[in-house]
């Protein structure tokens, strides 16, 4: 049976123009877009939009989903309640345990899943156990074998360069990770909170398409100079194609840094949640991806840019831009119905600081490949 999503607001992310529409879905694809109220119900399942916003299904580019091998692991299907139809596990598993991760936590889920492979063989176990990054452990041959076995599922390499993790190794593991990324044909995502060296030193190592994660953290060296400007090395990195990613999480976002960045219109390329069992629908400093999106609306990021940062840009990095992330005839019908509720709300950062916003995104329904998979009560 065809699905009719009736009376919704669509946003053109290039022009910012909004339009009211009926959206018809058939066989997992968007079959037609018509003026609101013009499509008859006959023979269709109806999802009433009530004049709320219909977005492409969200792409959460930074989550942790290895439930059976890490304390960071969240059940991926829970993300559907936040409008997420495509998610990326950001390096929770390494080559040693990736097959177990794929079998236990990526298969038979109700949404589209990709992953980054941690360059450390054991990934991120959690519980205060940091991954070893000694050079002799970063095994190109073993990583290549796993990447080949799960071809198309593994989209990049992940490394953390916090001082507590790399210790005396400094940024040598990051240089090695980028070298491996070059050989294996994959981008590298680097966790930058409290980096072993300055943010500019980290950014200088990265290539176009690599991801500078936790861009608004406030631990150790940040993206700001002492005078509150954006470090020139970060601006240069962005110009050559390094992507700036939020990875909000519980410990990796500061309003003090984000507000200064906003003053310079240094917006993220990718807005992501860094969801774990400790944060998803539990921690007010993160909550879920729509709440993180709302946080950036409160900071003044334009609505079309917020949408692009959770749809078009991450889909392009994943190589799915021709299939996902737009509401257009012929595209896969991954859709997120939400209310952009005009309501004052205090948003929180990792340090307990609060900032008031005037609107918040409220999830109403999620459609994956043409099938309604979540409805709010």
Which CATH number covers residue 35? 2.30.40.10
**Joined tokens for residue 84:** 């997420």
Q: Do 231 and 335 sit in the same domain of this protein?
A: no
pTM score above 0.85: yes
Q: What is the pLDDT of residue 158?
A: 98
Q: Do 27 and 83 sit in the same domain of this protein?
A: no
pLDDT in tens, 17-76: 999 999 999 999 999 999 999 999 999 999 999 999 999 999 999 999 999 999 999 999
Residue 115 confidence (pLDDT) above 90: yes
Q: Do 141 and 32 sit in the same domain of this protein?
A: no
E-strand stretches of the chain: 2-11, 18-26, 29-35, 44-48, 53-56, 58-63, 84-90, 112-118, 154-160, 188-191, 211-213, 243-245, 335-348, 354-368, 371-375
Q: Do 41 and 71 sit in the same domain of this protein?
A: no
- Please indicate, yes or no, if residue 346 is contained in any of the structural domains: no
- Please indicate, yes or no, if residue 351 is contained in any of the structural domains: no
Q: 């976002």: which residue's tokens? A: 253
- Please indicate, yes or no, if residue 97 is contained in any of the structural domains: yes
Dist CA 351 CA 340 (whole Å): 27
The structural domain count of the chain equals 2
Q: Do 208 and 295 sit in the same domain of this protein?
A: yes
Of the pLDDT bands very low, low, confident and very high (cuts 50, 70, 90), residue 377 is: confident
Average pLDDT over every residue of 211-222: 98
Beta bridge partners of 270: 245
- Please indicate, yes or no, if residue 345 is contained in any of the structural domains: no
> Smallest Cα–Cα separation from 299: which of 194, 225, 215?
215
Domain that holds residue 29: 2-55+327-340+359-375
Q: Do 183 and 51 sit in the same domain of this protein?
A: no
pLDDT over 70, % of the chain: 100
């Amino acid at each position: 049976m065809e699905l009719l999503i009736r009376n919704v607001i669509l946003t053109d992310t290039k022009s910012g123009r909004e339009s009211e529409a009926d959206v018809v879905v058939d066989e997992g694809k968007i079959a037609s877009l018509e003026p609101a109220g013009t499509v008859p119900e006959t023979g269709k399942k109806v999802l009433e939009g009530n004049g709320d916003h219909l977005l492409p299904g969200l792409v959460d580019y930074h989550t942790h989903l290895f439930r059976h091998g890490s304390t960071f692991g969240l059940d991926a299907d829970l993300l559907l309640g936040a409008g997420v139809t495509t998610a990326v596990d950001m390096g929770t598993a390494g080559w040693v345990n990736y097959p177990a991760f794929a079998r236990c936590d990526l298969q038979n889920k109700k949404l589209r899943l990709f992953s980054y492979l941690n360059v450390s063989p054991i990934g991120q176990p959690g519980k205060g156990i940091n991954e070893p990054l000694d050079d002799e452990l970063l095994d190109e041959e073993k990583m290549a074998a796993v990447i080949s076995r799960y071809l198309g599922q593994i989209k990049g390499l992940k490394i953390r360069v916090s001082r507590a993790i790399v210790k005396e190794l400094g940024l040598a593991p990051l240089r090695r990770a980028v070298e491996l990324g070059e050989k294996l044909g994959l981008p590298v995502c680097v966790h930058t909170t409290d980096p072993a060296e300055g943010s500019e030193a980290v950014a200088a190592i990265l290539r176009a398409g690599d991801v500078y994660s936790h861009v608004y953290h406030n631990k150790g060296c940040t993206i700001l100079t002492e005078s509150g400007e954006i470090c020139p090395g970060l601006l240069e990195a962005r110009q050559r194609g390094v992507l700036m990613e939020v990875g909000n999480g519980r410990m990796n976002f500061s309003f003090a840094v984000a507000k200064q960045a906003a003053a310079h219109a240094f917006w993220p390329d990718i807005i992501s949640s860094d969801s774990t069992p400790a944060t998803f629908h539990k921690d007010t400093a993160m909550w879920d991806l729509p709440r993180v999106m709302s946080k950036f609306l409160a900071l003044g990021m334009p609505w079309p840019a917020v949408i692009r940062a959770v749809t078009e840009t991450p889909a392009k990095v994943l190589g799915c831009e021709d299939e996902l992330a737009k509401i257009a005839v012929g595209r896969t019908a991954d859709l997120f119905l939400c209310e952009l509720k005009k309501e004052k709300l205090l948003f929180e950062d990792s340090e307990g600081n609060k900032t008031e916003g005037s609107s918040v995104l409220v999830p109403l329904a999620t459609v994956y490949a043409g099938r309604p998979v979540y409805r709010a009560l």
